[in-house]
C-alpha cells in the first residue's frame, strides 16, 4: 500500500510565535497538528447538538428566525429540517479554537489570546449531527497569526473557521452612527446554559460568541419592527474581539447594510445577500466589532429612513 505523506501544516510556526510573542523559538514537532487534534478529538466527538440545545439558545438570544422553529419554514428554503442556529456552530468553533490555543500556549509558553474569529457557514448542521473539527493550517500577517480550521459532518465541510491570535485585543475603528440598537441581559444562568450548549463548563469566563449571538436577534427584531418578512439565513460572521464581557446588560448596534447583492437560487428563485457592520458593547465599552453576512429571499430595506 502506498504511504501518503502529509505536509506539516504548522511548518515554521515556532519561529513565527517566537518573533511575535517574544519567546525562545521552539522547533515545532512534525506531528504537532496531529497531537493537538488527537488531544481534543475524544472530547469533541462526544459533543452533538440537540434540539433541546437549539431551543435553549433561542430563548437565551431571543432569536425568532422561523427556520429554526418550523420545519415548514425551513423546507421552503430548501432545507431538510430545522437546522441548528449559526451562532451555535460558531460557539462550538470558538470553544474548539480556545482549546487548540491552550495547547499551543502550553507547548510554546507564549502569552497569546484569540483576538478575532471568522466563521463561514458552508452547509447546515441539524440536531443529532456530529461535527468533527480539524486544524488545516496557519498564516501570519503583521502581528497576527491566523489558525485555519474546518468543521465536518460526515464527508461534508459545514464550516470554515479562522481564528486570529495576538498579544492584545484590537481597537475599535471609527464608524458612522447605527440604524438601530437593542439591549440584552446576560445573567449567570444564561451564561451557564450557553456554555452547556457548546459543550464546556462555565468557569466565570463568558464566551465571546455569547455576546455576538445577539446580533442575528437584533437584525430579526429590526426587520419585524419595519414590517419586513423574516426568512433569512446566515452565510458568515466575522468579529474582532475588543474586550471581555461581564454579567449584565449588553448593547448591540447595527449599522447600515451595503447595497444588497442579488443571487440566483438553485430552484431558479431570486435571493439577496446583505452585509451588516455590528458593534457589541457593555457600559459604552466595546466588546466586539465585525460583520455579518446573510441571505434572504425578500428584498429588505434597512436604511435609516425606511
pLDDT given at position 6:
40
Measured torsion, CA atoms of residues 247, 248, 253, 254, in degrees rounded to the nearest 10: 60
Q: C-alpha distances in angstroms, 279 versus 156, 172, 283, 286, 289?
A: 32, 9, 13, 7, 5
Specify the pTM: 0.88
pLDDT given at position 1:
30
Task: Return the closest-CA partner of residue 111 out of 35, 164, 40, 165.
Answer: 165
Q: C-alpha distances in angstroms, 104 versus 16, 57, 160, 285, 300?
A: 13, 30, 20, 29, 44
Whether residue 50 contacts residue 202, with contact meaning beta carbons closer than 8 Å, is answered with: no
Domains of the chain: 1-49+84-168 (3.10.129), 174-306 (3.10.129.10)
Whether residue 193 contacts residue 170, with contact meaning beta carbons closer than 8 Å, is answered with: no
Q: Where are the beta strands (DSSP E) in the chain?
A: 113-121, 132-141, 144-153, 156-166, 180-186, 232-241, 248-254, 261-264, 270-282, 285-296
pLDDT given at position 39:
60
Whether residue 260 contacts residue 145, with contact meaning beta carbons closer than 8 Å, is answered with: no
* Strand-pair partners of 50: none
Query: Exposure pattern of 148-157 as b/e (b: 16+ CB <10 Å)?
Result: bbbbbbeeee
* Strand-pair partners of 270: 264
List Cβ neighbours of 97 (8 Å cut-off, separation of 6 or more). Answer: 114, 117, 147, 149, 161, 163
Q: C-alpha distances in angstroms, 225 versus 180, 230, 259, 306?
A: 11, 11, 20, 11
CA pair distance 149, 135, nearest whole angstrom: 4
Per-residue pLDDT tens listing for the chain (306 residues): 333 334 566 777 777 888 888 887 666 555 666 666 666 665 666 678 888 998 899 899 988 888 888 888 888 777 888 999 999 999 999 999 998 888 888 878 888 899 999 999 999 999 999 898 888 888 887 778 899 999 999 899 999 999 999 989 988 888 877 878 899 999 999 999 999 999 888 888 899 999 999 999 998 888 877 767 666 788 999 999 999 999 999 999 998 777 788 888 777 778 889 899 999 999 989 999 999 998 887 777 766 544
pLDDT given at position 31:
61
Q: What angle in degrees, to the nearest 10, is found between the helix axes of 188-197 and 51-61?
A: 150
Amino acid at each position: 500500500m502506498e504511504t501518503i505523506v502529509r505536509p506539516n501544516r504548522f511548518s515554521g510556526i515556532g519561529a513565527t510565535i517566537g518573533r511575535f510573542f517574544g519567546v525562545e523559538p521552539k522547533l515545532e514537532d512534525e506531528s504537532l497538528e496531529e497531537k493537538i487534534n488527537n488531544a481534543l478529538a475524544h472530547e469533541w466527538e462526544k459533543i452533538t447538538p440537540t434540539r433541546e440545545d437549539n431551543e435553549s439558545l433561542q430563548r437565551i438570544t431571543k432569536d425568532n428566525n422561523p427556520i429554526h422553529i418550523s420545519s415548514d419554514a425551513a423546507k421552503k428554503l430548501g432545507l431538510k429540517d430545522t437546522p441548528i442556529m449559526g451562532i451555535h456552530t460558531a460557539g462550538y468553533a470558538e470553544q474548539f479554537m480556545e482549546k487548540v490555543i491552550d495547547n499551543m500556549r502550553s507547548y510554546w509558553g507564549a502569552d497569546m489570546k484569540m483576538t478575532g474569529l471568522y466563521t463561514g457557514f458552508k452547509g447546515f448542521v441539524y440536531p443529532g449531527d456530529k461535527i468533527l473539527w480539524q486544524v488545516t493550517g496557519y498564516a501570519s500577517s503583521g502581528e497576527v497569526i491566523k489558525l485555519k480550521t474546518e468543521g465536518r459532518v460526515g464527508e461534508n465541510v459545514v464550516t470554515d473557521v479562522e481564528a486570529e491570535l495576538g498579544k492584545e485585543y484590537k481597537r475599535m475603528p471609527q464608524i458612522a452612527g447605527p440604524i438601530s440598537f437593542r439591549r440584552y441581559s446576560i445573567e449567570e444562568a444564561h451564561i451557564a446554559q450557553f456554555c452547556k450548549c457548546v459543550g464546556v463548563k462555565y468557569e466565570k469566563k463568558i464566551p465571546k460568541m455569547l455576546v455576538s449571538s445577539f446580533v442575528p436577534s437584533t437584525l430579526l427584531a429590526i426587520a419585524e419592527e419595519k414590517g419586513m418578512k423574516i426568512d433569512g439565513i446566515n452565510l458568515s460572521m466575522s468579529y474582532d474581539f475588543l474586550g471581555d464581557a461581564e454579567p449584565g446588560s449588553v448593547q448591540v448596534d447595527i449599522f447600515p447594510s451595503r447595497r444588497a447583492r442579488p443571487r440566483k437560487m438553485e430552484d431558479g428563485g431570486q435571493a439577496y445577500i446583505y452585509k451588516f457592520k455590528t458593534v457589541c458593547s457593555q457600559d459604552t465599552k466595546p466588546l466586539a466589532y465585525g460583520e455579518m453576512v446573510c441571505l434572504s429571499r425578500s428584498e429588505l430595506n434597512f436604511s435609516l429612513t425606511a
